[in-house]
Structure 1
Amino acid sequence: MPQSIGLIGKVMVLSLLISLAIKYLVPFLAIPATDTVALIIVLLPCIIMMGLLGWRTVQANGHNPDH
């Protein structure tokens, strides 16, 4: 149980840091308001997760071509 509480605490702190970075640091970036940038921002998290989960699946199968 203490491990799960620690994990929840770490996730909450990381979430807080990310939200503060978005609120205070991102406005200083010169990101143009174009359709391409919006599409990249929307699709990038899905593409990153797809890559990470695919990599994890390959690692779990031990590079076995039968799976």
Structure 2
Amino acid sequence: MNEKAGIVAKVVLASLVISLLIKYVGPLLPIPANDAIALVAISTPATVMAIVMVRRSIFRAS
């Protein structure tokens, strides 16, 4: 049970760091606000996770 609590704590800490970076460092970046940038920002995490899951399933099958 202690191992699970450690993993949850690491995820919460990583989430906190990422959210603080987005809140305070994000506005300093010179990224233009347009539809293409928004589409890439929204679809990138899902695409990366899909690639990781497909690769894991291929390597487990062989």
Same fold (TM over 0.5): yes
- 2:17 corresponding residue in structure 1: 17
- 2:49 corresponding residue in structure 1: 49
- 2:61 corresponding residue in structure 1: 61
Residue 5 of structure 1, CA deviation: 0.6
**Counterpart secondary structure, 2:31:** coil
| Count of aligned positions | 62
- 2:29 corresponding residue in structure 1: 29
* More helix by percentage: 2
The sequence identity of aligned pairs, in percent, is 37
Structure 2 residues not aligned, in runs of 5+ = none
Q: Runs (4+) of structure 1 moved beyond 3 Å?
A: none
Higher alpha-carbon Rg: 1
- 1:3 corresponding residue in structure 2: 3
Residue 59 of structure 1, CA deviation: 1.7
Return the TM-score normalized by structure 1: 0.85
Amino acid at match of 1:51: I
- 1:65 corresponding residue in structure 2: none
Distance 2:21 2:51 in 1: 24
Return the TM-score normalized by structure 2: 0.91
